[in-house]
Amino acid sequence: MGMLAKIRRMHIREGLSLREIARQTGLSRNTIRTWLRQSDVTEPKYPAREVKGIVDAFAQQLGLWLQVDGHRSRRDRRTARVMYKAIKEQGYVGSYGRVCAFVRRWRAEAGQNPKRAAYVPLTFALGEAFQFDWSCEYAFVGGLRRRLEVAHVKLCASRAFWLIAYPGQSHEMLFDAHARAFAAFNGVPRRGIYDNMKTAVDNVGTGKDRTINVRFHAMCGHYLFDPEFCNRAAGWEKGIVEKNVQDRRRQVWQEAGERRWQSLEELNAWLDAQCRAAWEAMSHPEWPALTVADLLQDEQTQMMPNPKPFDGYIEKPIRVSSTSLIHFQRNRYSVPTEYAHRVVSLRIYPSELRLVADGQEIARHQRSFERYETHYNFLHYIGLIERKPGALRNGAPFTDMPEPLRVMQKMLLKHPGGDRIMAQVLAAIPVHGLDAVVVAVELALESGRPSGEHVLNVLARLKSPNMQPPAVATELKLTEEPVADIDRYDGLRRRQETEVPHVG
């Protein structure tokens, strides 16, 4: 509208020609002539130029995906990077930024962008603080799609982060996550920032008043950092790790959810490598010229030295049944039979269980997160088999014996009294050790007619030390070493033959 008014002033008031007006404004004379012929002062409108972008060929597909994702939970929605990879396989040759721009424009037009609050930016000194949070993820582990709880630990200054996956969020897993993260960072910051998770806070009071869990407080005292808890519904107070959860879900778990993992240890080893690779590749948000790994080196000099790992077990008393089993999380684990009907102490670790009685460890098992499983150790029942050898035939714990022992048991039970002989062989394990007994049984089986006496004989020969003649200490020394001379022997024979025999 301003240009039309300017043209009318130049032509009517100043009396300039169309050629001069075109020279000063850069417009064509036909355009100026058309505008001046209008009776009313209204600037004409021209249709917008239609410019087809490289994403337009895939706009319908992208819009369909975004529409479908609008009905899904936020965790299951596809990211722009996932859609970019999908259309790239369909022939898209453009950049990732064009796809992001299309997604932003589509969501803005659809009204999916909620109104966002404003926050105060935070800054942290090197070695000052770290933030901790849990996230729920899914992955195929051991052939099944499992729900995993992933611990996120992130340094506030250098932005180095660490991920560890666990089956749950219990205390022992919380402690193990801190131990692994501090070992990876090679240091401990002065403060730790958390939300009000139940494994750390027993009761949330008014304001900043918190009743901290005793075991969690013990861990903080071991690593010498101060725990700090956010206000209720104030996740922005630990926004660095909250953003880390979103970023790692897009960048790491998209691939982790598609792959198949044999065990949780294999998955955590892969996460270890992914975290370290990201440190080297990511630029720091405040110092783009430096990577996260560069800032981590500087922050390590400002952190406290990492002590030995906190022994983060959870201890609880538990009763041993008459079958020498304890029950824990719908599974059963064996204990030496001499502790049947007693109350022992169960120490729970993230990956194993230890049973303690009278101040000594009596059993240790690999922890299982399945249900309704029984884990035996046949060594726990050897003392009872000496008194009840008949239980060997159908004893459930003895199905897991090493192969040579099971072969020998099968051969001996074919004969009367074979169970007692097998009980004698098993009774040698606490004395000589399992490996030595297995070797002795293998040698006995090679003979074709194994017996208990044969096994014990082999054990005695295996355990007997090789007797070496003791060295004789003497001060006498030979001046002339003797020489082996066969000719001297022949000379003595010839002389004996020439001598006349003595007649008595």
Cα 97 from Cα 365, distance rounded (Å): 52
pLDDT of res. 504: 46
Q: How far apart are CA 110 and CA 432, in angstroms?
A: 76
The 343-348 sheet, strands edge to edge = 314-319, 343-348, 352-357, 360-366
Tokens 């796809």 correspond to: 99
Please count the other Cβ atoms lying within 10 Å of the Cβ belonging to residue 333: 26
Q: What is the pLDDT of residues 274-301, one digit of tens each?
A: 999 999 999 998 899 999 999 999 999 9
Contact between 407 and 444 (Cβ < 8 Å): no
pLDDT of 463 strictly over 60: yes
Query: pLDDT of 55-106, one tens digit each?
Result: 888 888 998 888 888 888 777 788 888 889 889 899 898 899 999 999 988 8
Residues 177-189: what's their mean pLDDT?
95
Beta strands 331-334 and 161-166, pairing class: unpaired
Range 14-42 average pLDDT? 81
The H or E element that residue 165 is part of is strand 161-166
- Cα(213)–Cα(209) distance, integer angstroms: 13
Report pLDDT for 485. 74
Token duo for residue 70: 């609008």
pTM value is 0.70
For residues 63 and 19, what is the distance between their CA atoms, to the nearest angstrom? 50
Is 456's pLDDT higher than 60?
Answer: yes
- Above pLDDT 70, what percent of the chain? 93
Q: Is the pLDDT confidence value at 501 over 60?
A: no
Which pLDDT does position 162 carry in this prediction? Answer: 95
The per-residue pLDDT for range 98-126, each reduced to its tens digit, is 999 999 888 888 775 555 667 778 889 99
Residue given tokens 């992208």 in the structure block: 62
